């Protein structure tokens, strides 16, 4: 479990996160508004990804397969 934590925390602590926070503050949001906006955005993104990963096991594929 600790190995996965290191992978995911490493992927989410990078300069893009810092730039996103700075951008929110530079647009006039307070610190708490910026944090809330970032948390809501991350939650919605994770929710969308989580819902799409359900399709793999339901279809018997290790990933989402699309027909071309």
Task: Judge whether 67 lies within some domain.
Answer: no
Assigned token pair, 8? 């995911």
CA 27 to each of CA 32, 54, 62: distance values in angstroms, whole numbers, following the listed order? 13, 36, 41
Which has the minimum average pLDDT: 25-34, 36-45, 46-55? 46-55
Count of domains for the chain: 1
Contacting residues for 17 by C-beta, under 8 A, at least 6 apart: 38
Residue with tokens 């995911």: 8
User: Residue range 22-27: average pLDDT?
Assistant: 90
Position with higher pLDDT, 59 vs 32: 32
Return the sign of the alpha-carbon dihedral for residues 16, 43, 61, 1: positive
Task: Judge whether 68 lies within some domain.
Answer: no
Position with higher pLDDT, 60 vs 16: 16
State yes or no: pLDDT of 10 exceeds 80.
Answer: no
Position with higher pLDDT, 9 vs 65: 9
Task: Judge whether 65 lies within some domain.
Answer: no
Rounded CA separation 51/54 (Å) = 6
């Amino acid at each position: 479990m600790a190995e996965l934590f290191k992978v995911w925390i490493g992927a989410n602590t990078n300069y893009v996160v810092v730039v996103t926070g700075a951008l929110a503050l530079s647009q006039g949001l307070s610190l708490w508004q910026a944090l809330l906006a970032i948390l809501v955005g991350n939650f919605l993104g994770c929710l969308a990804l989580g819902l799409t990963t359900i399709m793999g096991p339901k279809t018997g594929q290790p990933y989402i397969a699309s027909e071309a």
